[in-house]
Structure 1
Amino acid sequence: MDDYEHIGLDGSDLDEILSAPAEATERLALLSLDEACDVLRLLVSVQQEGGPLSRDADRLAKAIAVRIPSEN
């Protein structure tokens, strides 16, 4: 996971973050629409690379995509 070493994440850290208790997630600030779209593009890119995080990236991309309003 070389891409995540600079922020101190490994697979177990990511699992811990993704399964944070509800009270911890309630403290998170909301993303702007532009930020959410940026995160979605990043997740789709990671998923398409097919690396060790592709399954998590795909799951999170789907969860975010349903929350982003369509441009139409």
Structure 2
Amino acid sequence: MDALEFAPVEQMTERLALLTLEEGQDLSGLLLAVAQEGGPVSAETDRLAREIAGRILSEN
């Protein structure tokens, strides 16, 4: 499978639309803000934020 192919999905399942660059950056920033607040999910939120940030272009 190359980079443009997707794994097969059941016909009844709909894929979510891909995020735009701006949406990815916004989501990454929101996750980082939540992670900095602490709480029971902050470690997982921080991990997700870093994973997303590594896959999108920086704003600079």
TM range (shorter): 0.5 to 0.7
Cα distance in 1, alignment partners of residues 38 and 58 from structure 2 = 26
Structure 2 counterparts to residues 1-72 of structure 1, below 5 A: 23=9, 27-71=15-59
TM-score, normalisation: structure 2: 0.68
- Of all paired residues, the percent bearing the same amino acid is 60
Q: Computing the radius of gyration over CA atoms, which structure comes out larger, 1 or 2?
A: 2
Moved over 4 A (4+): none
Compare the two structures and name the one with the higher helix fraction: 1
RMSD: 2.2
Deviations 1:4-59 (A, max 9, x none): xxxxxxxxxxxxxxxxxx748x8121001111111011100011011122011111
| Length-normalised TM-score, structure 1 | 0.58
Distance 1:60 1:68 in 2: 13
Higher relative contact order (CA 8 A, sep 6+): 2
